[in-house]
């Protein structure tokens, strides 16, 4: 005997949802929360399969969903994350608040794949397609150019939290993507996030924030203390400052940074307030970062 079907296929409606059905589902969930999906349709008065209800809610009706095309920044994130995670759309989606796995998957298949191909990058391996491969239409062989992903630094965060009892602190993750990608600073809400207000380390470890797959890098690992005095920073152009900080990373500050100056500054101030960089003059640094924003 096989497994029981999740619903009686003869008695459930299929196909596009009507606005009436949407209303019923939304009202029910808003009033009762997300309970057991299997029994939800009956309780909500819907002739739908529970699975269908779950999908409709998660992919379309959820109030926290963003609508519309992915921004350039979100696209970059998707590409970076895809390079690390492959076709694990739900994991990728968990780093882009307001976006669903379905949405990202569709966007990948319809837009990004083409874009990458056009740029001469193989969308599966994220490696450049050689002219030879292009002309001969041969399968692309995985090249060993990928930078190994750094292990999560959860232990350090734990230690840091233990040390400071930093309840309510914002931990910011900076993803250093592989291959051709640029410095990516994640921010909450506006443009996809790896920044999260935490109340406990358990939240950091939470499923929807995958420290396993997106390396958490503590501030001192990103902002390498400069040997010279802080005044030398001020005299440099903002891009050069970053090149000094991140000598081995490509930085592209033409990308859109859509967060507010204050948020950006406070995030960076937090990063720079780390003990390991305590000899830096934070005020000066903040001013430099504000220059970055103007680029």
Partner DNA sequence: AAGACGGTCAACCGCTTGTCG
Partner DNA sequence: ACGACAAGCGGTTGACCGTCT
Among 27, 32, 59, 142, the residue binding DNA under the rule CB under 7 A is 59
SS3 at position 281: coil
The distance of closest approach from Cβ of residue 46 to DNA in the complex, given in angstroms and rounded to an integer, is: 11
Query: Nearer Cβ to DNA, position 122 or 288?
Result: 122
Residue 118 lies near DNA (rule: CB under 7 A)? no
| C-alpha span between 191 and 204 (Å, rounded) | 19
**Contact criterion met (CB below 8 Å) for 253 and 292:** yes
Residue 16 lies near DNA (rule: CB under 7 A)? yes
Site for DNA in 74-103 (CB under 7 A): 87-91, 101-103
Point out which span in 49-57, 155-163, 171-179, 180-188 binds DNA (CB under 7 A): 49-57
**Hey, what are 27's tokens?**
């009202």
The distance of closest approach from Cβ of residue 197 to DNA in the complex, given in angstroms and rounded to an integer, is: 22
Among 24, 25, 56, 219, the residue binding DNA under the rule CB under 7 A is 56
Q: In sequence order, which residues have a C-beta less than 8 Å from that of residue 246 and are 6 or more positions away?
A: 183, 222
**Hey, what are 252's tokens?**
């592209």
Point out which span in 42-50, 71-79, 184-192, 249-257 binds DNA (CB under 7 A): 42-50
Residues in the chain: 295
Residue 270 main-chain phi, psi, to 5 deg: -60, -45
Residue 105 lies near DNA (rule: CB under 7 A)? yes
Residue 38 lies near DNA (rule: CB under 7 A)? yes
Residue 51 lies near DNA (rule: CB under 7 A)? yes
> How would you label 226-240 residue by residue, b for 16+ Cβ within 10 Å and e otherwise?
beeeeeebeeeebee
The distance of closest approach from Cβ of residue 55 to DNA in the complex, given in angstroms and rounded to an integer, is: 5
Residue 140 main-chain phi, psi, to 5 deg: -85, 130
Residue 245 lies near DNA (rule: CB under 7 A)? no
Query: Nearer Cβ to DNA, position 101 or 244?
Result: 101
The distance of closest approach from Cβ of residue 82 to DNA in the complex, given in angstroms and rounded to an integer, is: 11
CB atoms closer than 10 angstroms to residue 117: 13
Contacts from 84-92 at CB under 8 Å and sequence distance 24+?
Answer: 84/149, 84/177, 84/178, 84/213, 84/214, 85/213, 91/210, 91/213
> What's the half-sphere exposure (Cβ side, CA atoms, 13 Å) at 174?
19
**Total of residues contacting DNA (CB under 7 A):** 41
Residue 270 lies near DNA (rule: CB under 7 A)? no
As beta bridge partners, residue 174 has 185
Among 111, 156, 226, 265, the residue binding DNA under the rule CB under 7 A is 111
Point out which span in 31-39, 159-167, 181-189, 277-285 binds DNA (CB under 7 A): 31-39
| C-alpha span between 75 and 80 (Å, rounded) | 9
Residue 215 lies near DNA (rule: CB under 7 A)? no
Query: Nearer Cβ to DNA, position 59 or 283?
Result: 59
SS3 at position 170: strand
Residue 109 lies near DNA (rule: CB under 7 A)? yes
**Contact criterion met (CB below 8 Å) for 186 and 175:** yes
The residues binding DNA (CB under 7 A) are 1, 3-4, 6, 9, 13-17, 35-38, 48-52, 54-56, 58-60, 69, 87-91, 101-103, 105-107, 109-111, 114
């Amino acid at each position: 005997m096989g497994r029981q079907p999740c619903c009686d296929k003869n008695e459930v409606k299929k196909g596009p949802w009507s606005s009436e059905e949407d209303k019923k589902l939304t009202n029910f969930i808003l009033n009762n929360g997300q309970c057991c999906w299997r029994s939800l349709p009956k309780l909500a008065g819907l002739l739908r399969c529970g699975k269908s209800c779950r999908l409709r809610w998660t992919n379309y009706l959820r109030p926290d969903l963003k609508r519309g095309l992915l921004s350039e920044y979100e696209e970059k994130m998707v590409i970076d994350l895809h390079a690390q995670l492959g076709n694990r759309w739900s994991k990728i989606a968990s780093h882009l608040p307001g976006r669903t796995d379905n949405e990202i998957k569709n966007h990948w298949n319809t837009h990004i794949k083409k874009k990458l191909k056009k740029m001469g990058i193989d969308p599966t391996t994220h490696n450049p397609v050689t002219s030879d491969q292009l002309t001969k239409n041969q399968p692309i062989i995985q090249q060993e150019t990928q930078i190994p992903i750094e292990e999560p630094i959860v232990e350090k965060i734990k230690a840091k939290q233990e040390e400071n009892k930093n309840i309510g602190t914002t931990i910011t993750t900076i993803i250093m993507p592989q291959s051709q990608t640029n410095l990516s600073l994640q921010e909450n809400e506006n443009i996809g996030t790896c920044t999260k207000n935490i109340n406990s380390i358990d939240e950091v470890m939470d499923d929807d924030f995958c420290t396993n797959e997106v390396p958490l890098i503590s501030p001192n690992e990103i902002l390498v203390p400069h040997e010279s005095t802080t005044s030398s920073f001020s005299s440099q152009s903002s891009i050069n400052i970053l090149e000094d900080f991140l000598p081995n990373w490509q930085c592209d500050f033409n990308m859109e940074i859509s967060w507010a100056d204050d948020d950006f500054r406070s995030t960076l101030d937090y990063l720079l307030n780390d003990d390991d960089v305590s000899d830096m003059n934070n005020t000066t640094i903040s001013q430099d970062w504000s220059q970055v924003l103007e680029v």
